Every structure is written in C-alpha cells, then in structure tokens.
Amino acid sequence: MKKKIKKAIVPVKNNAPHLSKMDKKYLWHPFTQMRDFLNDEPLIIAEGKGNYLIDIKRKKYLDGVSSLWVTVHGHRHPDINAAIIAQVKKISHSTLFGISNVPAIKLAQQLVKISPPGINKVFYSECGATAVEIGLKIAFQYWQQRKNPRPQKTKFLYLQNSYHGDTLGAVGVGGIDLFHKIYRPLLTENIRVYGPYCYRCFLGKNQTSCKMECVDELEKIMRTRHQEIAAFIIEPLVQGAAGMVIAPRGYLKKVKELCNKYEILLIADEVAVGFGRTGRMFACEHEHVSPDIMAVGKGITGGYLPLAATLTTDEVYKAFLGEFWEFKTFYHGHTYTGNPVSCAAALANLSVFKKEKTLEKLQDKIVLFTDQLQKFEKLEHVGEIRQKGFMVGIELVLDQITKESYPVKEKIGIRVIKEARKNGLVIRSLGDVIVLMPPLSIAKAELKKIAEITFAAIKKVTEL
Ligand SMILES: Cc1ncc(COP(=O)(O)O)c(C=O)c1O
C-alpha cells in the first residue's frame, strides 16, 4: 500500500515577506498573468478606511477604482458595518428556496422603488455574471411559455466590445475577443453587432459627420432576424470593460424603440453602471429607458458583500406562473440566493445614499473631475479621455494623429498603474486604457490628488 504523503503546511504569519511568499505559493489571481505576478512584489491589502486602502506595510493608497468598481460610500462605513453586524447577530443565512427572509423582502421592495418604471420583481444571485445569466434564461424562457409563445426566439443580440461576466452564458454574449474568443466552441450561437465606439468608429464617422448610423446597422439586423432574437443585451451608456466606451446621447433610447418595434426584450446590464456610477442611480435613467430585464450587482452592497439581482416586469414574470404540473417554474437558484447579511448590507447602502445625499453631492464632484481631466489633453500620448459621471477611461496611443495603439509588449497600461501605485494610488488599466472610478464618497481634495498622480504617472511612462 502506498504511504500517504503528508503536505507540510506552514501557518501563514502576518509579516510582509511571508505573506508574499504564501500568496505566490497558494493563490491563483483572476485576470492576472501569474508568471509576471510571481516576479513582482505583490500589493497586499490589510485594511481599508474611507477612500483609502492600507497595505500590510501600513502604506496608504487612494482607492482609485473603488476596489473593482464596487465601493460606493468608502470602506468601513459605520452604518454598513453596523447593519452587517446586527444581521449576523440574528442569522447569517437561510434559503430563499420556497421560504423567505426579512432583509431579502425589504431590499426587494427598495430595489423596485428605485428602479425604472415597470420593473416590479427581483430575483437574487451573488455576482454580476449570474445576474446576467439569469436575465438571459428568463428572456429565453419567457418566449417559450408566454401566452402566445414564440419558441423560435432563442438567440441574443449583443454588442461588439461588450462584457457581461465570465460564466459561459455571459461569455456567450461577450464581445471582447481577448477574453471570449477561446471559449467559442463551448458557447451557443448568438448575434454580434457593431456598437458605438466613437473614437474608433467602425463606419469611419467622426463627431461632426455622425448621425448615429450605427443604429441603422443595428436595425438592419433586427429587421431581418427579429423572429429568432429573444433579447438584446446592453451595458447602458458605458461599456466598462471595453475601456469606458461611451455611447452617444440618445443611442440607448433608440435601441429601446427598436426593441419595442421588433418585439425584442431589452436586457440592461447595470452591473457596472448602476448605483450612482454615472451620476444617476441607474444609467437607464439618463434616457428615461425602462428595460424589460435589468441586471445589477457590484455597488449594490456598497462594495461590502457579494450580492446581485435580476429585476424584471410583471409581464415577463407572469409567463412563469402556472399549475405546478405545467412546469413553467423558473428552475434556477443559487445556494446563497438572497443571503440575509448581504441584503442587510445593501439596505444600509441604500439608506446611506439618502442620509448623505450622495447623488446630490456627486454632481459637483463630477464637474470638478471633468475639469481636472481637461489638462490630460495636453499629454502627447493621450488619445481620448472618456467620462460619464464617475466612470473615466483615458486611452493611450502611440500616435495621436493615426490613433496607432502601443505594441502589446510595451505593457503601457500596466506600467502607468504601477507608477501611480508608487505614489499612493491604486488604479487599473484595461489594455491601453487607464481607468479611474473613485468611490462616490471621495472628497474633492482626494479627487484632485487622483488626477494629479495619474497625470504624473502617464507623463512619466509615456514621455520617457
Ligand atoms: C457590465 C458588467 N456585467 C457583468 C459583470 C460581471 O460581474 P461579476 O464580476 O460580479 O460577475 C461585470 C464585471 O465587471 C460588468 O462590468
């Protein structure tokens, strides 16, 4: 008989070199080339306070991307912390499968209240990708079993450069080849259409010549293929992972009109743009659009605990009602669906929005941010500065005139964010686009500091 080999497990001590060693030994980081990571000194966060992150060496950094677009009112907000602790003292988890819990009910009511008109029902999950998956499955099943079924409506229309998460259904409506192409053999076939990436317009238009002809292209596809399209999924106003690509004003509204015209459901993926990021609670509000299905996540708990939700209309919901033996049930659920602690955190997050007048105070900060970003225009390698509210993408280019991108090997984005990190700012890049997305709670002086450090980092790295 083979002798069992006992693994030597060294307890992880709290000192920096040991933690770094153990990280490299045991962890596999998302969206990270681990070979590079292993050769680097990792940043290991130990604490957060307000708009700052504090690492294990006690160095402070401004949280310039809201810890991956989630932090809303800052870290360790007393109200959210207290709500979590109070809920843990009652119960940490009970299921929503066939029974209910108090915070899940209260939060559903609050979410419906703040959502665009017509949105009345809430289905919980834990992350943005699952919220999207649920939206896709609901849309598909709706057409299969509504009163006048349309069983041939089985495909989804999605935009080039879209990102909706990393599970397979979400990847199936993902339009970023770098992330999604390799998985294509695993995916169902959907329909991709060019969207408005105005800096690099696929129709060769510019700001003055544009009449939003990209909408005509979209309509052509809808006109010819609407019989097979269940839903159109879109990140309203801002394609985040594409590099904060901002749709021209009116685009979303036109999309909604076309969806109505061709009987296609509209799924708004508000995972990134929701909860104030664009300056309004939800991005759809900017164009008075009510989607049929809306996915939310990220900022829903203020960035404290994992939670997401898929919201929909009574019309869609009704298609799932029937006798038990008709099997119209939505056979979908995750173990932690509607977790009471996460829901309690989300309720506290929403009440801080009210108590601190977060959205009202944000408007001035958005203006200041715009002002601060203007000076980036004079940098030689800044191609475009894109901003919608507190979502900012600065696209770096080798040549401003030709818009030629940097060679991948230059790792220009990564070098800029590392330079910023040295100076006390944590930000992330998406390819050659430097992303800034501070917490909504950021103070004006901190916002200026973010702009200053980013400016200096871009200048230093690109003008070597
Ligand atoms: C628009 C959008 N949808 C969905 C997701 C996926 O969310 P999660 O990472 O929570 O699964 C993201 C994540 O960045 C996103 O930006």
Residue 1: is its pLDDT beyond 90? Answer: no
Q: How far apart are CA 10 and CA 274, in angstroms?
A: 42
Q: Is 240 in the pocket of ligand 1 (CB under 6 A)?
A: yes
Total length of the chain: 464
pTM: 0.96
Q: Is residue 423 part of a domain?
A: yes
DSSP states along 96-123: -SSS--HHHHHHHHHHHHHSPTTEEEEE
Mean pLDDT across 100-105: 98
SS3 398: coil
Q: Is residue 252 part of a domain?
A: yes
**350 with 362, same domain?**
no
Give the pLDDT score at 183. 96
The residue among 122, 47, 426, 428 whose CA lies nearest residue 272 is: 428
Residue appearing with tokens 């030689």: 380
**241 with 223, same domain?**
yes
Q: Which has the minimum average pLDDT: 9-23, 52-66, 388-402?
A: 9-23
Give the alpha-carbon dihedral of 73, 78, 83, 86, to 10 degrees.
160
Q: How far apart are CA 406 and CA 398, in angstroms?
A: 5
Q: Is 235 in the pocket of ligand 1 (CB under 6 A)?
A: yes
**126 with 160, same domain?**
yes
**pLDDT above 70: percentage of residues in the chain:** 98
Beta strands in 271-424 (DSSP E): 293-296, 308-313, 382-388, 391-396
Atom of ligand 1 nearest to the CA of 130: 11
Q: List the structure tokens of 93.
A: 């988890």
DSSP-H helix ranges across 154-227: 168-171, 177-180, 213-225
Confidence band of 3 (pLDDT split at 50, 70, 90):
low
DSSP states along 258-274: HHHHTT-EEEEE-TTTT
The residue among 322, 356, 350, 315 whose CA lies nearest residue 108 is: 350
Query: Of 130, 271, 428, which is best to mutate to test ligand 1, by the most ligand atoms within 8 angstroms of its C-beta?
Result: 271
Q: How far apart are CA 132 and CA 248, in angstroms?
A: 24
**350 with 361, same domain?**
no
**379 with 302, same domain?**
no
- Provide the β-strand partners of residue 238: 246
Q: How far apart are CA 287 and CA 249, in angstroms?
A: 8
Angle between helix 412-422 and helix 444-462 axes, rounded to 10 deg: 130
Q: How far apart are CA 25 and CA 23, in angstroms?
A: 5
Q: How far apart are CA 112 and CA 203, in angstroms?
A: 39
> Hey, whose CA ends up nearest to atom 8 of ligand 1?
128
Q: What is the CATH number for 220?
A: 3.40.640.10
Q: Is residue 8 part of a domain?
A: no
CA of 339 to the centre of ligand 1 (A): 19
Q: Is 165 in the pocket of ligand 1 (CB under 6 A)?
A: yes
Give the pLDDT score at 464. 77
Q: Is residue 55 part of a domain?
A: yes
Number of domains in the chain: 2
Q: Is residue 86 part of a domain?
A: yes
> Hey, whose CA ends up nearest to atom 16 of ligand 1?
272
Q: Is residue 3 part of a domain?
A: no
Q: How far apart are CA 145 and CA 1, in angstroms?
A: 58
**351 with 363, same domain?**
no
Q: Considering 355, 381, 403, which residue would you say is the last residue of a domain?
A: 355
Confidence band of 2 (pLDDT split at 50, 70, 90):
low
Q: Is 306 in the pocket of ligand 1 (CB under 6 A)?
A: no
**262 with 143, same domain?**
yes
Give the pLDDT score at 154. 98
Q: Is residue 175 part of a domain?
A: yes
**173 with 234, same domain?**
yes
Domain containing 443 equals: 35-73+357-462
Q: Which residues contact 19 (CB under 8 A, 6 or more apart)?
A: 12, 13, 44, 56
**396 with 312, same domain?**
no
Q: Considering 337, 355, 373, which residue would you say is the last residue of a domain?
A: 355
Mean pLDDT across 349-377: 98
Q: Is 269 in the pocket of ligand 1 (CB under 6 A)?
A: yes
Mean pLDDT across 250-274: 98
Q: How far apart are CA 90 and CA 127, in angstroms?
A: 24
Q: How many CA atoms lie within 13 A of 379 on its CB side?
A: 26
Q: Is 272 in the pocket of ligand 1 (CB under 6 A)?
A: yes
Q: List the structure tokens of 255.
A: 């999309």
Confidence band of 16 (pLDDT split at 50, 70, 90):
confident
Confidence band of 207 (pLDDT split at 50, 70, 90):
confident
**448 with 423, same domain?**
yes
Mean pLDDT across 272-281: 98
Q: Considering 333, 355, 377, which residue would you say is the last residue of a domain?
A: 355
Q: How far apart are CA 342 and CA 41, in angstroms?
A: 33
Q: What is the CATH number for 380?
A: 3.90.1150.10
The gap between the terminal CA atoms of the chain, to the nearest Å, is 63
**342 with 198, same domain?**
yes
DSSP states along 303-337: SSS--EEEEEEHHHHHTT---GGGT-S-----TTT
**311 with 432, same domain?**
no
Q: How far apart are CA 274 and CA 301, in angstroms?
A: 11
> Hey, whose CA ends up nearest to atom 3 of ligand 1?
164
Residue 197: is its pLDDT beyond 70? Answer: yes
The residue among 374, 406, 433, 384 whose CA lies nearest residue 206 is: 384
